[in-house]
Structure 1
Amino acid sequence: MADAQRDTRWSALVVCLVAGFMTLLDVSIVNVALPSIRTGLDATDSQIQLIVAGYALAFGIVLVPAGRLGDAMSRRTIFCVGLVVFTASSAVAGAASDPGWLAAARIVQGLGAGLVNPQVSGFIQTMFQGDERGRAFGLFGAMVGISTAVGPLLGGVLVSVGGPEHGWRYVFFVNVPIGVVALFLALRWLPKAESRRRESLDPVGVLLFGVATLLVLLPMVEGSRGESLSTRPWWLLGASAVLMVTFVAWERRWARSGREPLVDLALLRVRTYVLGLSLGTLYFAGFTSIFLVLTLYLQNGLDYSAFEAGLTQMPFALGSAAAAALGGRLVGRYGRALVVVGLVLVVVGLVGIDLAVPHLRDHVGLTLSPLLLLAGVGGGLVISPNVTITLSEVDVRRAGVGGGMLQTAQRVGSAIGVSLVLAQFFSRLAVDGDYGESMSLALRTTVAFVVGALLLGLADLATSRRR
């Protein structure tokens, strides 16, 4: 009986990771397909921007409310609803006949992705304990790293197969059969919800938090193709801060009335949670933008095909996957020190790439492979151990909200990093058209973000030893 139960839990985890992989892959895979979309649908720059930004915005704003729904109702139900929404909207996106249709489908896709992802970390929290939880989060971290790094490669393959006119459709249609199979297996293997008392879903809190998150993300994703930072609506950040203060006041009032708030503010007094949230935000600000600037450098600067550019980045994905699985097993023994080692390896790898790029002429991909592998190993030792440590003191009854807040912080960090790094890349490129120098400048910014995360990790280690 125990063995059967264990097999079911690990089978359920596979379903969760497949669904999570699909939704995170769509963050990056569409970038490779943008030229094909522009050609196939005769899309303008603003329409292309909405196709990219709509997914990111919808994904980011729904994560915490979706986690709350899973905590209060049924993670299995919310996961399956999100999977249906994501899969159906992928089919609609692939069949789009004009840019507006595709942009609308991408927004719905983002909503489906936002419903799915908090349930993944919630299921891991509730299905596993102790060392097994570390192993499960190790596989989760591997999924995050691979989905981000392999997007350009898979997108390049699908666009090449479909051709310049219709290749972009395959990027969306590929989700449909995978989503259908995942839904069938989710209904079979995911644990059903235990009987729970009905809880209020705090609609005012959901609205305040969602709008505040949207106002943070809008200036970041607007102009994500590299336009000047000065033209963006930064005043929205002030409005978001006011809404966040209002949100906190409302949550306290809602809790005093004896009802369950959207976010348990006690989480913000848990040191490991807040530090992990901050570290993850800084790391993802650097981590996500690496692949964008590397792809621009290889494809536009060195005339690599989308497939060749994606293949060059594969060492990072492989190193990240292997190290994340290992990190999940070791985090219980070494704790935050493992994250610090990973961050050091990422910094060394990125600095090595920065130093090498200006001097490369031939065999660029082969030369960068060892450095990308080193950075990937470091990344694998950061993501899954940090998630495990960050959520270790979160009540499993609040695992959905805890995971949703963590992933929201990661999405905000990614948006900040991509916004700043691409703006720097294109502004430097406008000076003399040197892709190597532009990439070096962008890499130094990503290194700065990762170093910030490293300083937080070192401060945590020092504080822990004093205690």
Structure 2
Amino acid sequence: MTMSQTRTATGDRRRWTALGVCLTAGFMTLLDSSIVNVALPSMERGLGADAADVSWVVSGYALTFGLALVPAGRLGDLRGRREAFLVGLALFTAASVACGLAPGAGWLVLFRLLQGAASGIVAPQTTGLIQQMFQGAERAKAFGMLGGVAGLSTAVGPPAGGLLIQLFGADDGWRWVFYVNLPIGLAAFVAALRLLPRAPVRTGRREHLDLPGVALLGAGVLALMLPLVQEQQWTGREKWALLPVAVLLLAVFRAWERRQGRRGQAPLLDLDLFSLRSFTLGVLLNLVYFAGFTAVFFVYTLFLQNGVGYHALAAGLSSLPFAIGSAVGATTGGRLVVRHGRKLVIAGLGGVALGLLGVIAAVQLVPGRDVGWAAALPLLVAGFGSGVTVSPNTTLTLAGVPVRRAGAAGGVLVTAQRIGSAAGIAAVGAVYFAHLANHGSPGRALQLGLLTTVGIIVVALGLAVADLRAREKNPEPQPTEAVEAVAGHSRPQEPDPTT
């Protein structure tokens, strides 16, 4: 090999190894959003926590995760994604240890809030670094791997938590749910220091973070998510008064960002991104799909533990077919999205709906403790469809986004996931608990909850079909072309990300 070929091969290996570091951190942070679910009874026993405390352990993480995404993504765009990634990873690892050492329920909630914010710092850097390091088919493959990790981490969380509780006991096993992040976080931090690309040197005027925009967006997202994540614990209808407040705050945020643009100052979020049909519909589809996807595990694990009598580990293992299918589907979708585009997302959504209908049939036909085995194949089908949905949709949504805005755009995409997840759990959970309270039939309550989820998936399917028809009438650049153009303007060549 010539010197140039050797340098190119080394750079390629370095990029893919750097991606592995990002995926490891992403897996760890996303795992913590689901692994604690089966550990909640252990926390109640070990800390004497009440229902409000354990509710905030789950919802507080989701809340601060969602609040941090867009500002952290923009900060990474401005000051360097490598630096922001390292800060987020270090904070997450330290907060995990603090959670494990928490002497009381109040301290645990506080450290979970910090842990969620740290996750929100890491997530948009990952999507931004993929945009920075890869192009074309390679970028689609990288997003396919990211989608596989996201699906796998969500589904692996319950069995992993159950196994740790089994190994370390019912009273203190919950602490190891957090301690396991320490060796992984330290190893990922050391590897990230060596492998992640530094930000290219910028010339010209130095942009500053739009702090009023951060405050307005944060307040709007908080007002939107708080009644959703606390839907079960915050009784009374007054919580829904926050939703019009959220709409008002987000409208003020939009007006402020437009004003920033007119004055020639850098906004927190470039609203021109929403002029790209692929970005707008992709974000909306992401929000709707995650409203259905995340709620599945919420009601299914509740049904298995409370309705059928599964212990935590068995309930967690019952979700593994979905995780396996999701990982395979995401990898497959990453390879095929450049060729098939939005048609692949439509096929994936159809697979998810078909698989969930199969789970409903399994609950009806195989009542009792064998239901986990009967639902395994339908969950495998739904998981494969989920992988084929999430990964290609991420690729198509971010395809036309310029690299210099990739962090903020990725933050918007993941924020849509968080809002969708909170809304879906609130809606599907309300259906599940209402039927359970009125009729006392866990199997029927699960079926109605999953039918609600299928209805949400059908809405996402309608959005995907509308996007496909719009593309056929007025084509936008394909993913391999769109990375070079945004709204008709060519993007300058990025420097070698391996240097």
TM-score of the aligned structures, taking structure 2 as reference length: 0.92
Partner of 1:211: 219
Q: How many angstroms does 1:96 deviate by? A: 0.6
Partner of 2:3: none
1:29 is paired with a residue of what secondary structure?
Answer: coil
Residue 106 (structure 1) aligned with residue 78 (structure 2): no
Partner of 1:200: 208
Partner of 2:391: 384
Q: Where in structure 1 are there 5+ consecutive unaligned residues? A: none
Paired with 1:185 and 1:211, the residues of 2 have a C-alpha distance of 35
Aligned-partner residue type, residue 135 of structure 2: Q
Partner of 1:465: 472
1:28 is paired with a residue of what secondary structure?
Answer: coil
Aligned-partner residue type, residue 460 of structure 1: D
2:335 to 318, 329, 332: 329
Paired with 2:201 and 2:282, the residues of 1 have a C-alpha distance of 31
Q: How many angstroms does 1:358 deviate by? A: 2.2
Partner of 1:365: 372
Q: How many angstroms does 1:463 deviate by? A: 2.1
Paired with 1:463 and 1:398, the residues of 2 have a C-alpha distance of 25
Paired with 2:296 and 2:56, the residues of 1 have a C-alpha distance of 22
Aligned-partner residue type, residue 443 of structure 1: L
Partner of 2:68: 62
Q: How many angstroms does 1:466 deviate by? A: 2.8
Partner of 1:5: 11
Paired residues, number: 465
> Conserved in 1, the CA contact under 8 Å of 2:362 and 2:371?
no
Paired with 2:430 and 2:237, the residues of 1 have a C-alpha distance of 11
Paired with 2:117 and 2:287, the residues of 1 have a C-alpha distance of 21
> Conserved in 2, the CA contact under 8 Å of 1:74 and 1:193?
yes
Aligned-partner residue type, residue 41 of structure 1: L
Q: How many angstroms does 1:79 deviate by? A: 0.3
> Conserved in 2, the CA contact under 8 Å of 1:295 and 1:310?
yes
Paired with 2:466 and 2:237, the residues of 1 have a C-alpha distance of 36
2:197 to 149, 168, 191: 191
Q: How many angstroms does 1:129 deviate by? A: 0.4
Matches within 5 A, 1:164-313: 164-197=170-203, 198-224=206-232, 231=237, 233-313=239-319
Partner of 2:321: 315
Matches within 5 A, 1:411-422: 411-422=418-429
Q: How many angstroms does 1:255 deviate by? A: 1.5
Deviations 1:255-277 (A, max 9, x none): 22211100001011110000000
Superposition RMSD in Å: 1.1
Paired with 2:335 and 2:25, the residues of 1 have a C-alpha distance of 23
Moved more, 361-370 or 266-275: 361-370
Aligned-partner residue type, residue 55 of structure 1: Y
1:49 to 47, 55, 65: 55
Partner of 1:138: 144
Q: How many angstroms does 1:54 deviate by? A: 1.2
Paired with 1:183 and 1:416, the residues of 2 have a C-alpha distance of 33
> Conserved in 1, the CA contact under 8 Å of 2:287 and 2:420?
yes
Partner of 2:100: 94
Partner of 1:121: 127
Paired with 1:223 and 1:258, the residues of 2 have a C-alpha distance of 41
Greater than 6 Å deviation, 4+ residue runs? none
Structure having the higher helix fraction is 1
Q: How many angstroms does 1:224 deviate by? A: 4.1
Paired with 1:194 and 1:286, the residues of 2 have a C-alpha distance of 39
1:140 is paired with a residue of what secondary structure?
Answer: helix
Partner of 1:438: 445
Paired with 2:218 and 2:442, the residues of 1 have a C-alpha distance of 38
Aligned-partner residue type, residue 202 of structure 1: D
> Conserved in 2, the CA contact under 8 Å of 1:49 and 1:223?
no
| Pair 1:290–1:232, CA change in 2 (3 A) | farther
Paired with 1:47 and 1:306, the residues of 2 have a C-alpha distance of 20
Paired with 1:66 and 1:136, the residues of 2 have a C-alpha distance of 21
Q: How many angstroms does 1:231 deviate by? A: 3.4
> Conserved in 2, the CA contact under 8 Å of 1:60 and 1:412?
yes
Aligned-partner residue type, residue 249 of structure 1: A
Identical-pair percentage: 50
Partner of 2:160: 154
Partner of 2:415: 408
Q: How many angstroms does 1:446 deviate by? A: 0.8
Aligned-partner residue type, residue 360 of structure 1: V
Q: How many angstroms does 1:223 deviate by? A: 3.4
> Conserved in 1, the CA contact under 8 Å of 2:61 and 2:116?
yes
Partner of 1:37: 43
Q: Where in structure 2 are there 5+ consecutive unaligned residues? A: 1-6, 475-499
1:398 to 386, 400, 405: 405
Paired with 1:224 and 1:455, the residues of 2 have a C-alpha distance of 30
Residue 428 (structure 1) aligned with residue 435 (structure 2): yes
Paired with 1:363 and 1:43, the residues of 2 have a C-alpha distance of 33
Aligned-partner residue type, residue 215 of structure 1: A
> Conserved in 2, the CA contact under 8 Å of 1:224 and 1:418?
no
Deviations 1:100-153 (A, max 9, x none): 000000000011101000000000011000110010000000011001111101
Aligned-partner residue type, residue 64 of structure 1: V
> Conserved in 2, the CA contact under 8 Å of 1:219 and 1:232?
no
Paired with 2:381 and 2:178, the residues of 1 have a C-alpha distance of 32
Deviations 1:290-341 (A, max 9, x none): 0111101111111111111111111110011011011001000000000000
Moved more, 194-203 or 165-174: 194-203
| Pair 1:232–1:413, CA change in 2 (3 A) | farther
Q: How many angstroms does 1:359 deviate by? A: 2.4
Q: How many angstroms does 1:426 deviate by? A: 1.1
Paired with 1:297 and 1:42, the residues of 2 have a C-alpha distance of 25
